[in-house]
Chain A
Amino acid sequence: MAWLFAPAPATRLAALRIVVGTYATVWATVRLPAHLGHADQVAERWQPVGLLAPLDAPPVAGAIVALSVGAPVVGLLFTAGWRYRLVGPLFAVVILALATLDSSWGQVFHTENLLVLHLLILAAAPAAAALAVGHPGTRPDDVGERYGWPLRLAAVVVVLAYVIAGIAKLRVGGLDWLGGDALRHWVAQDNLRKALLGDTYSPFGTRLVGQAWLLPPMAVVTLVVELGAPVALAGGRWRTAWVIAAWLFHVGVLALMAILFPYQLSGVAFAPFFRLERVADPARRFVNSRRGGRRLCWGPGSRAGGAGSPRRRRRASPAPRARRAGPPVHRVPRPGA
């Protein structure tokens, strides 16, 4: 538990918000036509799951359109960190609803699970305490437990997803799964199904099916990656090695079966494992330097006249800096100070 609640910099969590928020906004924009298309689906196809399971019929067209069109807009606000206490949970629920809607027509997708879980975690966390537009919160140099647990929780859910997938293969297929026949048949059947239904399939995958000797080692590697996911929590080289292996695994799935896991392939799914502030901090310093020393709204006290600005702080509080309610927040010296 101490590991889960170890302090982390506010900028790391904020950077995760920006990365995941940007991805989700792009996803909602690219998927907009498909999401709007749900409004035209015949009700007979409705097989709701998750959040929508209690509904006997698809949501009304107006609700689908509002969710679909509103998602990219709310996503921009989420990414910017604007009014985060309201926008954070709102965006997480909107994306949860849209992704659940996608999976409520006869096929449960597994491509957006981690995205939704990460958004829900971020929505419950102080992810706009830094690098946020117009947010009068704490300083971006803050370090605290409240910034640490969401990052580690986001990493843990990634690990759990892979471990559960590995468990499912062993539980359903048994040790026979390692023999490679199941994988070979899946590659063949999935490409065949795509071909029969007029979709793009993988010619590379169909060729590989003919090389049966390759499938057993591929099955073993698949299970090693999935069941070995917990090593990523050890950090360092173990983490990096596992993330590369998991990414290559998804490259393989794309090459063999034309199945795209964009959240994983973009690397965003693995962002919680890394010190994102190493990118965010130089970017923040660069932006601030371009502003001629005046700090942009990348954090509190950065906007002239803002609630956290030196001018306003002097008026608002006799203390050099008012402590916000919540868990203790540790200060670390600025680099070079």
Chain B
Amino acid sequence: MVGAVAVPGVRMLTSPDASDGFPLSTYPMFAHDPGQVAVMATAVVITPSGDVERLSPETIAGTDQVIQAAMTVRRAIDRGRAASAALCRDIAARVEGSGTIAVVIEEHDAIAWSAGEREPRQRRTVSDCEAEG
């Protein structure tokens, strides 16, 4: 057991890119520096008045986990326009109320955001669709 638990640590020593696992982990969280600029995939509601409202992980991906929701959006974007459009429709079906659902990539300065600058430096819409409520 001790050996099995220690093996991921040895793998991490030999290669910083060693893949993580469960329950035997390399515990890579927070090890690398993610930098100040954050490029994040997410989905939002754009109201008729143009306001942007955030959606929960449950609405975006049917999960209570933030990173899993972000991964869902990222993977849909990576798989192309059709997959992004399909995700958009899935989200629209889970949204209560009306508005435009947009699958987006936002770029933020994370330090500036922490200081109160909430608007992204860039927001690129990959796909959008209507939520009927």
Contacts and interface: CB of A to CB of B under 8 A. Distances in A.
Interface of A: 34, 37, 40-42, 44-45, 49-51, 96, 99-100, 103, 105-110, 112-113, 116-117, 120-121, 153, 156-157, 160-161, 163-165, 167-169, 171-173, 176-177, 181-189, 191-199, 205-207, 209-210
A195 B54 contact: yes
Given A156-B2, A196-B106, A45 B30 contact: no
Q: Which of A42, A105, A206 has most B Cβ within 10 Å?
A: A105
B68 A105 contact: yes
B24 A50 contact: yes
A160 B2 contact: yes
A168 B61 contact: no
B110 A117 contact: no
B55 A198 contact: yes
Contacts, number: 190
A326 B2 CA distance: 23
B25 A173 contact: no
A144 B56 CA distance: 52
B5 A117 contact: yes
Contacts of B23: 50, 96, 99-100, 112-113, 116-117
B42 interface: yes
A160 B33 CA distance: 23
Interface string B54-94: 11110111111111111110010000000100000010000
A106 B22 contact: no
B20 interface: yes
B114 A110 contact: no
Closest 6 CB pairs of A and B: A106-B71, A188-B110, A164-B9, A165-B27, A182-B33, A172-B31
Chain A binding surface, main DSSP class? helix
B2 A107 contact: no
B27 A192 contact: no
Contact of A185 (B33, B55, B71): B33
Given A106-B68, A191-B114, A198-B57, A50 B1 contact: no
A182 B114 contact: no
Interface in B85-133: 90, 106, 108, 110-111, 113-115
A108 B114 contact: no
B114 A197 contact: no
Contact of A37 (B9, B63, B72, B90): B63
A120 B23 CA distance: 11
B72 A40 contact: no
B110 to A, nearest CB: 4
